[in-house]
Structure formats: structure tokens, C-alpha cells
Amino acid sequence: MYARLRPWLFRLDPERAHAATLRLLQLVGALPPLAAMLRKFYAPATSSPVTLFGLKFTNPVGLAAGYDKDGLALRGLACLGFGHVEIGTVTPRPQPGNPRPRVFRLVRDQALINRLGFPSRGADFVAARLRGSRPKDLILGVNLGINKDTNLERAADDYKIMMQSFSSLADYLTINISSPNTPGLRLLHQGRLLSDVLGEISPYKTTPLLVKLSPDLSDAQLNETLDTLLQHKVDGVIATNTTLSRPALADPAGKEAGGLSGAPLATLSRRLVGRIYTRTQGLLPIVAAGGILSRQDADAAINAGASLVQIYTGLVYRGPGLVREILGGD
């Protein structure tokens, strides 16, 4: 079904197509008969629960942050078979993000480039969306960022605001220090800055806390980051965000600035998962994200040391049936 729909979606600007998809999922999620039909169509054929961070996930496949930034379509997304959904990135105050165009399809490479820059309706809006009942058995994560005009030395203040807003509304929280589209944000990987941030926010931690990492870290940078995360007893990591590197790309849109995701990120992301697992001797749970467009990709990430996987660009190119495929239903 998605194979027939995709050519029509791809005629639209990527952001317009994405917004239309979210609106449709929001509508379906609000109408119980349609939601039931969607669940029946996309429900995984097998159950493969995973317990991690003290949480029981119905299966290891989740939706990565960035797809539903403001929590608009949570109920519809829950019908697609995900074991968890991570919304965001959310910023304390609303901000528009970077100027358009800012999302580019690399169809020949099964990839995307984005330079969105954390467009967000803000913490108050998203928190209001999450109050009330939640889809049954769905683990909810919220990805937290900082406002563009926040000085890095004050980054902890932004994270604290949002931990207070979302700790009671989410099953886990993720600190995003790895988006390449917010100036200076990746400097928070540095040991001192990261340690300062984690030290300041730790008194506000009442739910599992993860940190999302860049795929572009050198061995020395990664070791420093992991030492800091272990020191502060972070519950896990998400590996990885998008990359600024440019492997050989066939699509002319590959020259655009921004973070690259999709198939070209697979090798880099899997390699980082393996480095983290080896370096921490499996003591730091890993959620693999980046370049997962098939069951083989997901298996490779888990074999490298991940306990859970997340998809985003794979959903754009393969459609919602990818969840069932990864779980062995197709």
C-alpha cells in the first residue's frame, strides 16, 4: 500500500509531505474505528519483549525523535506496532528553527539531509499534549534540546526546565547533545561541559535518562564522553544522531548542508554502537538509531551491541510496514 502512496508523497516538498502524514496519523488516532483497523493491519505477528532501564518494551523497535516533534500524532503512531515512541526534540521556549528549505530527499541514496534546527512549539505545548490517557503498553520517550539562543554554559538550565515538565509524563527522557544544526551543541560532548550539565541536572532525575550521541566522534572524544556518562550513572545512550560526514552519494542533493540520515549512515552508526559496547563492556545500554531500513540492518545493530533500535528515515522510504518486517512479520 505504501509503495503506491509514496510517489504521490514524494511529489510534495519533504516538510509538507511529512506534515500531511502527521495530520493523517493524528486524525486516525482520534477515531477509534480507524485506529483499530490500523493496529490490525500493522500489528507485529510475534511478540518479542525487551526489559531495559527498568521498563518493559513490547518489542525492540521504536520511532526515533524528530518524526513527531510536538507530540501531535502519538495515538496514530502507536497503532503502527512500535514498542516505543520518542517525541521531540522539544525546546523550553517555542522557536521556528532554521529557514526553509531545510529538508532534502536523496532518493537514489535512500537518505535525507536536514538542517531543521529544533523547530518546536515549546515545552508547555508538548506537555499539554501528553497529559491524560496514553496508548496502552506504549513506552514514551521525550527528547530534550536547548533553545538556539541559550549559551552553552547555561544549557543545564534548559534541560532542568524540561526535566521538570516531562519527568511525570514520559517513561524516559533523552538529552540531545548531538544535533549538528544547533550551533555549538556538539561541544557538550566534551568531558567538562558534559559533566557540568549532568551534575546540575542529576537532582531533577526521577525517570531513566539517556543521552543521544553524534556519529562523528573520534575515539578520544568518544572515550571522554563515555567516561563522563558512566561517572554520572546515565541509564543509556542513543547511537546515533545524523552525520556531517559525506560518504559517496549518488544524489545531487548530497551537497546540501545539514545532518545526513538513512542508508549512508548505517555503517558509521553500527560502528559506533560496537565501539560503545566494547568500551563499556556492555554496562551502558544502547539504543541504535541511524541507517535502519531493513530487518538485516536492525539485526546488525543488535549484533553490534544494541538492545533496542529506532527508525525514522526508514519509515520515509519503506513505510510503516518496516516495523512488522523487522519483527519478522513479513
Query: Is 179 considered catalytic here?
Result: yes
Question: Residue 34: left if φ>0, alpha if ψ -120 to 50, beta else—which one?
Answer: alpha
Confidence at residue 268, expressed as pLDDT on a 0 to 100 scale: 96
Per-residue model confidence as pLDDT tens digits over 92-149: 999 999 999 999 999 999 999 999 999 999 999 999 999 988 888 899 999 999 999 9
Pairing relationship of beta strands 61-63 and 84-90 according to DSSP bridges: parallel
3-state secondary structure of 22: helix
Residues 6+ apart with CB under 8 A from 143: 65, 66, 86, 87, 88, 89, 90, 173, 174, 176, 212
d(CA 196, CA 188): 9
User: What residues in the chain have per-residue pLDDT under 50?
Assistant: none
Q: Cα–chain-centroid distance for residue 111?
A: 16
Residues 6+ apart with CB under 8 A from 249: 106, 109, 111, 264
Out of 120, 165, 179, 269, which one is annotated catalytic?
179
Residues 6+ apart with CB under 8 A from 83: 49, 50, 57, 58, 59, 60, 61, 62, 138, 139, 308
All domains of the chain in start order, with CATH: 2-326 (3.20.20.70)
Confidence at residue 330, expressed as pLDDT on a 0 to 100 scale: 56
- Strand partners for 309: 61, 288
d(CA 254, CA 69): 24
Confidence at residue 134, expressed as pLDDT on a 0 to 100 scale: 85
